[in-house]
Amino acid sequence: MLKRKFFFKLGFDIIAIIIGISASFWISEISIEREEENQRERVLNSILIESDDIKNYCDERMKIWKQDIEIYNLLLNDELNINKIKKVAISKNRVEYNLIYYRDFDPPMNRYTSIINTGDLKYIQSENIKETLTRLHNLNFTKVASTVNYERKIIELIIELITEENPSLFLKANNSKIDFESYLKSLHMFIQKNDKLKSNLVVQLKYFKTRISSLKYYISTLEELQYDLKKL
């Protein structure tokens, strides 16, 4: 009788221990799953916030890049329309910047870079979102950035050409005594008379247009990402 009670108690204790261990594992798994879900929401929210920042950056780039194209078109026209230029360029510096500086494409990507470096991309379950992120930050980004590199090479040629053949243009751009209209007339006249400069500007204009097309693809992919993120 005592043995039976002993074994009964022992069996009960063993069952209690097993249930306790199982419950502990179950609670632990729930805790891990909850933590992973929190991490997943944090990562997705971080990407969504950054996508809004990127969209604002791209909208600003698009606006400025379209103005660049308009300025080039007006300078390449046979007849100079000063009033139209003044609508997109308010100063000599704006026009000169267009000729001798290239515009970087550097959208905010710190959050995405951090997610990649820390391995937090594993928390994103959607393969579609992962694929879109890769397409956006690798393929589409590279296409836009490549056009900027091409522009930089052309700009180096333009600077060299103006420096060698008409250095006074740079002096006029920085001379406060020479007004905007006089500077535009001198610049336009030099462009029309110098086939080397004109041909470089024509090539640069083509790069500008390619840059716009590439940026449109980039924005389209970005909007696709935002749509998928907001569905979750």
pLDDT in tens, 79-136: 999 999 999 999 999 999 999 998 889 999 999 999 999 999 988 989 999 999 999 9
Dist CA 225 CA 129 (whole Å):
7
Dist CA 213 CA 221 (whole Å):
13
Amino acid at 213: S
State the average pLDDT for the chain.
Answer: 88
Dist CA 64 CA 70 (whole Å):
10
Half-sphere exposure in the Cβ direction for 137 (13 Å, CA): 20
Residue 11: pLDDT over 90: no
Residue 201: pLDDT over 90: yes
Residue 33: predicted pLDDT: 63
CA distances from 7 to 15, 17, 19, 39, 133 (A): 12, 15, 18, 47, 61
CA distances from 204 to 2, 76, 193, 199, 214 (A): 99, 12, 18, 9, 15
The domain ranges of the chain are 2-231
